[in-house]
Structures are given as C-alpha cells and as structure tokens.
Amino acid sequence: MAKHAITLIEGDGIGHEVIRAARTVLEGIQVTGELEFSWLEAHAGWELFERTGNSIPDETLEAVRATEATLFGAATSPSAKVPGFRGAIRHMRRALDLYANVRPAVHHPVPGSRAGVNLVIVRENTEGLYVEQERTYMNGEMAIADTVITRRASQRIGEYAVKLASSRQRKTLHIAHKANVLPMTQGLFLNTARKAATLFPEVSTRDIIIDNCAMQLVTRPEQFDVIVTTNLFGDIISDLTAGLVGGLGIAASANIGDEHAIFESVHGSAPDIAGQGIANPTATILAAVLMLRHIGEAATADRLERAVDTALEHGPRTRDLGGSSSTSEFASTILEAYRGA
Ligand code: NAI
Ligand code: MG
C-alpha cells in the first residue's frame, strides 16, 4: 500500500469548510483503495495573523517542505495595507519557489459550463506585479508598483508550459502577453517563452496579445489548449476560464515547483458565505484530484474526477450551482459516487 504524507492548511473563511470536506472524501477513498494518507495540519492566513501577528509561521513552511504535497483551503487578504501582514499563499509561492500556477478549465456537467472547453492556464507564479513592491509619492497623490520579469523565470515557465502541451493531445501553446505596450518587461517574457517553446518542436506555438486572448476565451474558448502568461494576466484570465466551466465553486489549481507543490481552489475565503456550511467543496476536491496525479496516484485521481462529475450531474448540488446541498452533504454525494464507480 502506498503511503502519502500530506499537509492540510485550512486558512480562513470557507477554507475551513472545504478542507474538512476534502479530507472526508480522501479518508473515504483510503478505506476503499490501495493508498493511505497521513495528515499534517498546518496554519496560515488572516485569522492566524489576528491571533498571533504572523500569517505564515516557519512551521507551516516546514510542514509543506516535509510532506509530499499540500492541500490548501483559502486565505483572506485585506484590501488595505496592514503592517507586518503577508498574504499567505503568495508568500508560500515565492518562499517555496512554486513557479508554475497550473489552472485547468474543463467542461463539467453544471449549468453554464461550455461544452468543448478543455484548456490549461499556466501562470508564472513568482514575479511580475506580485513582487508586491509599491510606494506612494506626493502625500499619496501618486503610487508606483514595480513589475519584475526575469529571463530565468520566463524560461522555466515557458519550458513547463511547452512540456505540458507536448503531453496533451492537441499539442498547442499560446503565449499570452502585452509586449506591444511593454516591450521590455512583456517583451522579455515573450521572447524567452518563444525560445523555450522550441524545445518541443511538435508543439504548435502562437503568440496572442492578452486582451485579444480574453475576448477569444469568451467567443471561441474551444480553440485553446495550453496558455502561458505572466502572473497578473494569469490571475485574471484563469478566473475568466473558471467562469466558462461553471464558476469558482469548481475551479482547481496547482502551485508547482521543482521540490514542492501546493494544491488549492482558485476561489478565496468567501467571507459572504463563510461559516454557513454552504460552500461548494468541489474546487478543493478537484484540487485533490490534481494532487493525486502529482503524487503518482493517477488511477485514483481519474476515478475521483469521474465521481465528481457524477455527483455534479445527478446532484443534489450546492447553492452556487442552483441546488440546496450543504458542503458536507455534497462531499458525501461525491464519496457515494466514488464507491459506486
Ligand atoms: P472569493 O473567491 O472568496 O469569492 C467570490 C464570490 O464567489 C463570492 O460571492 C463567494 O461567495 C463565491 N464563492 C467563492 N468560492 C465559493 C465556493 N466554494 N462555493 C460557493 N461560492 C463561492 O473572492 P473575493 O470575495 O474576491 O475574496 C475574498 C477573500 O479571499 C479576499 O480576502 C481575497 O484576498 C481572498 N482570496 C484568496 C485567494 C486564495 O487564498 N488563493 C484567492 C482569491 C481571493
Ligand atoms: Mg485570483
């Protein structure tokens, strides 16, 4: 029996609810299958910051380093600057060098999901505008944020994306950029990613300007296979692509580095519904599917993904998808579908 040590970080808001639901499902799978999990619970986020003054303690980073993979709920970031506060997931991405943020958007049997969509956004995860270096001048009348693009980060994200594209059926890569307006920063990204893409000549690679990409994602999303882009653009268009296939309740993502990996939903801590037990746990459970593939449990991952689709198809679904199921009820529906499969 394969044993896997996994770190669980609930974070804030609905992060608690969706991680507990995902854990129930994974524990249910372990009963029926050939694999076994041991859990390490670690803490991060705004609620922890309010209690302790530290949003991301060293022990949490140690737990992520010490285990095979991490499943993360969601963490709150206040919109105003708070001295000493660090955004938990953004800090972990940089501190652990999780340079690839991989966000699949695949059609699922839910209202509003567009048939034929099967794409992956590969978002550079360590630099761009997310270096979080901002300053104000003239008594707050002007503000400047730095954007950092390096050849090294552009090269490795380009390589990651083209390698992923080469493993997929359609073998198509779009490099989405804004080099026409920002030839130094975006130009460096574009040219480096283009060169990286030549490593896999069987992949057909095209450039696309990010705003046109956004429009075409709405009008003809089925043409896209893998899209690689810089940090902020990837953040925005991956919420758009989540919207193409049923919304934030079901969109999952992976933060991948050479040494470590953290799997999470695309959504945040959803303060508007937190604590009510109505959050959709699907995104986090699909993040667990990505995690299972990453740790070499592809067959279990495929079976769990089919179970999620069965549960989404037959319901009862959670409220965001027009149903009335609670978080834990829907997790049980998925588990029953898994056992029945
Ligand atoms: P959000 O994703 O938390 O919520 C947006 C909307 O979608 C809300 O109406 C929410 O109720 C709904 N929603 C999200 N996930 C859902 C789920 N699983 N089931 C049902 N409905 C769901 O984004 P928002 O409101 O912009 O941000 C809230 C907080 O989360 C902020 O502090 C933000 O910084 C943080 N955040 C954290 C992320 C992370 O930890 N990776 C990602 C995005 C936001
Ligand atoms: Mg986002």
239 annotated active-site: yes
Within 13 Å and on the Cβ side, how many CA atoms surround 263?
27
Structure confidence by residue, pLDDT tens digits, 219-253: 999 999 999 999 999 999 999 999 999 999 999 99
Q: Which residue matches tokens 């450039």?
A: 207
The count of structural domains within the chain is 2
Q: pLDDT value at position 315?
A: 87
User: Is 322 in the same domain as 304?
Assistant: yes
Phi and psi dihedrals of 170, rounded to 5?
A: -85, -15
How far, in Å, is the centroid of ligand 2 from the Cα of 236? 6
Q: What is the pLDDT of residue 83?
A: 93
Torsion angles phi and psi, residue 280, rounded to 5: -80, 120
The residue among 244, 266, 293 that closes a domain is 244
Residues 6+ apart with CB under 8 A from 332: 24
Tell whether 341 and 296 lie within a shared domain. Answer: yes
3-state secondary structure of 34: coil
Looking at the CA of residue 272, tell me the nearest atom of ligand 1.
Answer: 11
Q: Mark whether 12 and 62 lie in a shared domain.
A: yes
Task: Report the sign of the C-alpha dihedral through residues 167, 168, 169, 172, in that order.
Answer: negative
Strand 69-74 and strand 100-106: pairing?
Answer: unpaired
Residues 239 and 252 grouped into a single domain: no
Residue 226 located in a structural domain: yes
Give the Å distance between the CA of 121 and the centre of ligand 2: 12
Q: Is the CB of 75 under 6 A from ligand 1?
A: yes
What CATH code is carried by the domain that includes residue 225? 3.40.718.10
Kindly state whether residue 299 falls inside one of the protein's structural domains.
yes
In a domain, 6, yes or no: yes
Residue 136 lies inside a defined structural domain of this protein: yes
> Can you give the pLDDT at residue 2?
87
Residue 108 lies in a domain: no
Residue among 232, 248, 282 to mutate when testing ligand 1 (max atoms within 8 A of CB): 248
Ligand nearest to the CA of 317: 1
| Domain contains 49 | yes
Confidence of residue 258 (pLDDT cuts 50, 70, 90): very high
Instruction: Let me know whether 163 and 237 are in one domain.
Output: yes
pLDDT digits (tens, 9 = 90+) for 75-131: 999 988 899 999 999 899 989 999 999 999 999 999 999 999 999 999 999 999 999
341 pLDDT band, cuts 50/70/90, is confident
pLDDT at 34: 77
By residue range, what is the domain housing residue 46?
1-99+248-341
Query: Is position 58 annotated as part of the catalytic site?
Result: no
Q: Which residues contact 107 (CB under 8 A, 6 or more apart)?
A: 113, 114, 115, 116, 117, 118, 245
Number of Cβ within 10 Å of residue 257's Cβ equals 16
Domain end residue (candidates: 215, 244, 273): 244
**This prediction's pTM:** 0.94
Task: State what percent of residues in the chain have pLDDT above 70.
Answer: 100
| Model confidence pLDDT, tens digit, residues 262-296 | 999 999 999 999 999 999 999 999 999 999 999 99
274 CA from centroid of ligand 1 (Å)? 10
Quote the pLDDT of residue 242.
Answer: 95
Domain boundary among 197, 219, 244: 244
Do 76 and 174 share a structural domain? no
Write out pLDDT tens, residues 291-331: 999 999 999 999 999 999 999 999 899 999 999 999 999 99
